[in-house]
Amino acid sequence: MSAITGVDYFNNFYSPGVAPYSGTYQVLSSGLFGGNLVVGGQAYSYVGVLTKNADQIQFVYFTGIPAIAVTPCVGERVK
Domain count, the chain: 1
Q: Comparing 10 with 3, which gets the higher pLDDT? A: 3
Q: Comparing 55 with 79, which gets the higher pLDDT? A: 55
Domain that holds residue 14: 2-76
Closest CA to 63 of 45, 47, 49, 48: 45
Beta strands in 28-76 (DSSP E): 33-39, 42-51, 56-63, 68-76
21-75 pLDDT, tens per residue?
Answer: 888 888 888 888 888 888 777 788 888 888 888 777 787 777 666 656 556 667 6
